[in-house]
Chains A and B, each alone.
Chain A
Amino acid sequence: MSVEQDDIVIKNEESQEQDTSLILDNQYVFIQLPSGNIKVVKLQKDTTVPLGKFGTFHSNDIIGRPFGHSYEIYDRDKVKVIKNVAFHEIDETSANNKEILDDPSKQKLSYQEIEKLKKQGLEGQDIIKKMVESHSAFDQKTEYSKAKYIKRKEAKFSRVFTPVRPTLYSVWEYFFSKNPGKIRDMRIDTLSQILTLVNVRADTKLLVVDDTQGLVITGVMERLGGYGTILGIHDGENHNYDIVRFMNFSKNVNDSLKTLSWQQVFKEEAQASFNYQDESTLSEKDLKYYLRRKATYERIRAAREILWKGGFDGLIIASQYQPESILEALIPYLSGSRSIIIYHINKEMLINACVYMRISKRFLNPQITESWLRPYQVLPGRTHPSMSTSGGGGYLLHATHIIIDDSLPNPIPSYMKQKEQKGTLEKVNQSCDDNTITLTDQNSMNIDENNVKILNQNDTTEANLNINGEEELHQLDNKKIKLD
């Protein structure tokens, strides 16, 4: 007997999907400026977009073009596509920094003169050329430091901007550099691990507790692509998933998100009743108000039904609230053999939650991991790790939810007391029979090896799937006794 999840409706409206590789009207776009800063713009046709000291451009000049190219502003507000290159090959020379003195008088062009050149409408590249020409010691520099000098000047005088396509990566990058606290300091590698470890994909139904302004929800929505359901549990009365809108999601994808506040999660918290009225008797003004109230009431009622029906395929938590309390509230709605992941920037919060999981019968192999990310500069002859980098991207507590018959002895003993593991395999199989689990025609102990891949504890030490934690705790208890 197989029960396919019936509430996943496959939507096939690909024709409605916009081409996300084009810059389109009425969509968010990130503008990378020469200074390295990023400006976010909701592009509207027939408008002028100001870029501060770098100039302005007309939105129509870039709408309809593919993402990827950079544009240079010339003649005040005209743009032309410029050829992008990753880097220029640099020839090694015998020059060194022996003769280089830190002396600003080497630059013969004054600030006023440069401003004058800018006013004359000289393009960024020409100004930089002029500055190089009037730098008396430029030739003494090594080729590497020449390249560095030009790069520094480009950040200041160049008028080249690049429209950047909103992707999970670019949206994260924008918020992480601007205000990491707003997204609970979550780094993109950690977020990526959440999405793979919970097996986020199309045709799933996921529970997400997101206090990261919707960053996690955004990632989940993108990976579901409109196929499946996301139920977001949010803080406060109304959700604050501010980040979602920057992705320019289609209606399909936006519709896959349902939300509930914490108050609406609990069955004992009754939903305020709603009086259905005859719509024809209402005035236009009253009707508008009535319809809005009705829509909200029905949205919440439907979302509560989705939650209470249960059968979720994963639980993701990135919240300020105690993880154990969230697990207590939401675990009953999760199916068996589904992943749970809890994110927190402070490991201490996860340690207690991990102990809670170990004592409980319902979680297999709870494990705390930390991601480590090191960016490099790769340039010919100048390859090295970046001099400064993010110090930490947060911690994850990951486990698999399992269904266990409460009448059975605990397979993972509460390590504080029990020393011996109890329980037998036969009993587990018996309970399996009750749940109509049939592996093969023969009785369950004789497993067809082709169908069951055995994941042995001993095979997986490298894969971090071990449960050594428990054993160590026992050992430690023994040590403690000796010390006494």
Chain B
Amino acid sequence: MSFLRYKTHIEEGELVIAYLMPSHNGRGFMYLLHPTPELWTHVVPHRTQILYAADISYITTYLDLKPGSVVLESGTGSGSFSHSLARTIAPNGHLYTFEFHEERAKAVKQDFEEHGLSDLITIECRDVCKNGFGVTDLVHAVFLDLPAPWEAIPAAKEAFKQKRIGKISCFSPCIEQVQRTCASLNENGFVEIKMYECLMREHEIKTIPIYTVTDAVNKIKLQQDKKRKRKEDRDEQDNANADSQVSKSKQDPPNLYVSKTPNEVKGHTSYLTFATFLPVLEEQFLTK
């Protein structure tokens, strides 16, 4: 099944995502799902740290990606974000992605081929910090997920389409990286340097019964009754009238649906640094 076209039926030899809901008795349910970049993120062989949905979504919008966008990405990593990028820029955009780890690049290239994304993605094994991207005046947006993004920023500047506005995003987990990145962006003439953190947290739903203080009193009375009964049993006093004053008919209390955040959630993924590439002024452009 294609990442770029939805189908309604599964064909032989096609990729399907199976969602398993095992039960404790060894049986369970399996749902066969159409592949999407989001599902692929969950099943991709974890060759590297992957990006999370909140970051992917925010970067995609901030970089102004849509069908037709030409994007540069480095490093490719497990190719998970490449799938999301390719999905958004299809059918007439293009993604140039660079990975310096040779084995990883090979494996991801094969994924792209099997998923029908080869026409949209060009992958190259290359150390961009040392050797640049080898492309100039080509892309609308740049995404850098590198240990030292500041080393690649001068090359990124050249990769942008020179006569139009462009957007760059750098993804770094440490604040020291952000500071060096921002200094480099400033030196290289990028403007509107902004930095964000974006996280998504779940709210779990459950029902809680609403008891009143009357219930609390009844509970104590019930316990007292039990105690008394036990005592009476011990004393062998056979008294049939020792029935409790509390009504036996237990009524379920009304339920309330409530939500709560999990006790432990993701507290940090990475800092997202964004900046704007300014079109080279025409006068300057001509003299170059």
Contact = CB atoms under 8 A, between A and B. Distances in A.
A67 B165 contact: yes
A372 B186 contact: no
Interface residues of B, number: 103
A289 B161 CA distance: 49
B179 A378 contact: yes
Contact of A196 (B8, B60, B211, B219): B60
B29 A423 contact: yes
Contacts of B208: 476
Contacts of B12: 438-441
Interface in A52-75: 66-69
Interface stretch (B34-42, B94-102, B151-159): B34-42
Interface string B15-51: 1111111110101111111111111111100000000
Interface string B183-201: 1011001111111111111
B87 A201 contact: yes
Given A87-B186, A337-B34, A469-B205, A69 B278 contact: yes
A408 to B, nearest CB: 10
A378 B64 contact: no
A455 to B, nearest CB: 5
A174 B194 CA distance: 17
B267 to A, nearest CB: 10
Contacts of B17: 452-453, 455
Interface in A320-344: 335-339
Contacts of B21: 411, 457, 467
A467 to B, nearest CB: 7
A227 B18 contact: no
Given A202-B91, A374-B196, A192 B209 contact: no
A270 interface: no
A383 B250 contact: no
B259 A368 contact: yes
A197 B56 CA distance: 10
Nearest to A165: B165
A323 B6 CA distance: 25
B13 to A, nearest CB: 6
Nearest to B33: A337
A39 B191 CA distance: 21
A425 B18 CA distance: 13
A354 interface: yes
B88 A223 contact: yes
Interface in A1-15: 1-5, 10, 14
Contacts of A483: 209, 211, 219
B34 A338 contact: yes
A335 B10 CA distance: 13
A169 interface: yes
B105 interface: no
A464 B199 CA distance: 13
Nearest to B209: A480
A383 B15 contact: no
B183 A376 contact: no
B183 A370 contact: no
B243 interface: no
A68 B276 contact: yes
B4 interface: yes
A84 B32 contact: no
Contact of A222 (B42, B66, B178, B275): B66
B13 A451 contact: yes
Contacts of B8: 3, 5, 311, 335-336
Contacts of A480: 209, 252
Contacts of A336: 8
A367 B230 CA distance: 49
A425 B29 contact: yes
B38 A197 contact: yes
A14 B29 contact: no
B38 A196 contact: yes
Interface in A334-390: 335-339, 347, 351-352, 354-355, 358, 364-365, 367-376, 378, 380, 383
A428 B29 CA distance: 8
A430 interface: no
8 contacts: A21-B163, A21-B164, A67-B164, A193-B53, A196-B53, A313-B6, A453-B16, A483-B211
Given A189-B54, A464-B202, 12 more contacts: A168-B64, A202-B67, A355-B205, A365-B19, A370-B201, A371-B54, A371-B199, A452-B16, A453-B17, A453-B18, A455-B20, A469-B206
Q: Which 8 A-B pairs have the closest CB atoms?
A: A225-B67, A21-B164, A192-B57, A68-B165, A453-B43, A66-B279, A192-B61, A337-B34
Interface of B: 4-23, 25, 27-43, 53-54, 56-58, 60-62, 64, 66-68, 84, 87-88, 90-92, 161, 163-165, 175, 178-179, 182-183, 185-186, 189-209, 211, 219, 250, 252, 257-259, 271, 273, 275-279, 281
Interface of A: 1-5, 10, 14, 17, 19, 21-22, 66-69, 81, 84-87, 89, 165, 167-169, 188-189, 191-193, 195-197, 199, 201-204, 219, 222-227, 311, 313, 335-339, 347, 351-352, 354-355, 358, 364-365, 367-376, 378, 380, 383, 395, 400, 402, 411, 416, 421, 423-425, 428, 432, 435-441, 447, 451-457, 459-460, 463-465, 467-469, 472-473, 476, 480, 483-484
